Amino acid sequence: MAAVENAARLAGGSVAPSKWRWAQLAIGVLCMAMIANLQYGWTLFVDPIEAKHHWPRAEIQIAFTIFVLVETWLVPVEAWFVDHYGPRIVVMFGGVGIAAAWVINSYATSLPMLYLGAVVGGIGAGAVYGTCVGNALKWFPDRRGLAAGCTAAGFGAGAAITVIPISRMIAERGYETAFFTFGIGQGLVVFLLAIFLRPPGDTMLQAAANKRTPQTQIFATPRSVVRTPVFWLLYLAFVMVASGGLMTAAQIGPIAKDFQIANTPVSIGGFTLAALTFAISLDRIFDGFGRPFFGWVSDKLGREQTMFIAFAIGACALYTLGNYGQNPMVFVLASALYFGVFGEIYSLFPATCSDTFGAKFAATNAGMLYTAKGTASILVPLASVVATAYGWRTVFGIAIGLNLAAACLVLFVVRPMRLEYIARTRPKSDPADAGAMLGMQKSH
């Protein structure tokens, strides 16, 4: 914090109390938890919708793809409003959107209506997600990995506490009631929390770089960012890893059903639940824990080094899930391990983006990178097609290859290019730091 305060005084501003930024972080985490079910709770609704309307599963999953595409690809637009007008109004808008989306889903009697709900939900969720992550990156220039990880953890783990209530409501009162009830509740909480959000002052936008997480001293505009090769390599790596995670999140229910273990009881730590319910609950917990953990690790070890480790572990977990997942215990544990290392992309990529391009336009720049998630979501319906033709093992094999390729890409290509970019864009009055950056590049 001292580094932030010193930089702030040099900038001629006042420093906001440290406790206030932690309050802002907590509000962001809670807002993210309220939108988590729009993505991670979706798998609970797929089979009930198919059973009632007899729509093809692949066509139902198009709604998931539409949601993710809209959620991610509109984030740069929503983030532009955040960078210029502050987070409060954007998150309020998002709260209204996510409530309306699930109300629409509760009344959907046709696929086009279901798709409309996905569009509205994507707009609302994107407004909340892009705002909360961008706000965290601005409030914590000295701990970006941890702050982005904690915020993203709300999205990753937020569904954990509601998986069982939603499952029970679907079973006892129908999926339509679950959509309506939880939609209104989640939207109302987000709307009320938004009242307390505020942006940091200019004093929080500067922080001294450290040797493990080198940071630029410029504020790159979105227009200049999209012209840099390092941005597009980060984008490619994001797509490669996100595709496997989104496929697994959306298809975990169908996978368990096809493995014939969805309702098989599994006992761990004194708790006994159906394999699918247990897996989804643990997935959300591990996903939520992994995001701040790996964000914190990246603050100490380095962004790309941490990505390499996480992506490699993810490949091993996918291999285990694809080859031995017919065992319900293995299914639960392997999926939990996978999501424990998968969620870090939502903390490490935004932190890396802000380290590279600066904090002033952090929401918009990180939002542009976040659209990679939307690009990756295009592969989710294709997973059903490939699984039908060749089996889930082939789908997992593709995801494993993408994980390993991304691990090598970020460590051996992205890292040296990013260090060179930071060194090249540093002020000429700072030759020592620029030389240190180039030295780090050569050592890696």
Distance CA 333, CA 270 (A): 15
For residues 63 and 46, the answer to whether their CB atoms sit within 8 Å is no
How far from the centroid of its chain's Cα atoms is residue 70's Cα?
14
Q: What residues are paired with 165 via a beta bridge? A: none
Distance CA 139, CA 131 (A): 12
Distance CA 153, CA 150 (A): 5
Instruction: Give the chain's count of helices (H) and strands (E).
Output: 22, 2
The sign of the dihedral angle between the CA atoms of 180, 243, 322, 406 is negative
Report residue 233: phi and psi, to 5°.
-70, -40
Distance CA 286, CA 204 (A): 31
The one-digit pLDDT tens for each residue of the chain (444 residues) are 443 334 333 333 333 456 688 999 999 999 999 998 888 788 889 989 999 999 988 899 889 889 988 988 888 888 888 888 889 999 999 999 999 999 999 999 999 999 999 999 999 999 999 899 989 988 888 888 999 999 988 886 777 778 788 989 999 999 999 999 999 999 999 999 999 998 887 655 554 444 567 777 778 899 999 999 999 999 999 999 999 888 887 788 889 989 999 999 999 988 889 999 899 888 878 988 899 999 999 999 999 999 999 999 999 999 999 999 999 999 999 999 999 999 899 999 999 999 999 878 888 999 899 899 888 888 777 887 888 888 888 999 999 999 999 999 999 999 999 999 988 877 655 544 444 444 454 444
Locate 100 and state its tokens. 């309306």
Q: Please classify residue 262 by burial: count the beta carbons closer than 10 Å to its beta carbon, then call 0-12 exposed, 13-18 middle and 19+ buried.
A: buried
The single-letter code of the amino acid at 387 is: A
Predicted TM-score (pTM) of the model is 0.78
pLDDT given at position 141: 81
**How many separate domains does the chain show?**
1
Distance CA 296, CA 103 (A): 38
For residues 81 and 90, the answer to whether their CB atoms sit within 8 Å is yes
pLDDT given at position 185: 94
Q: What residues are paired with 267 via a beta bridge? A: 272
pLDDT given at position 416: 95
161 DSSP assignment: G
What is the residue range of 234's domain? Answer: 2-443
Distance CA 113, CA 106 (A): 10
Q: Which conformational region is residue 218 in: left (phi greater than 0), alpha (psi within -120 to 50 degrees), or beta? A: beta
**CATH code of the domain containing 202:** 1.20.1250.20
Residues found in the chain: 444
Angle between helices 175-194 and 18-35 (to 10 degrees): 160
The single-letter code of the amino acid at 115 is: Y
Distance CA 279, CA 256 (A): 9
pLDDT given at position 2: 40
169 DSSP assignment: H
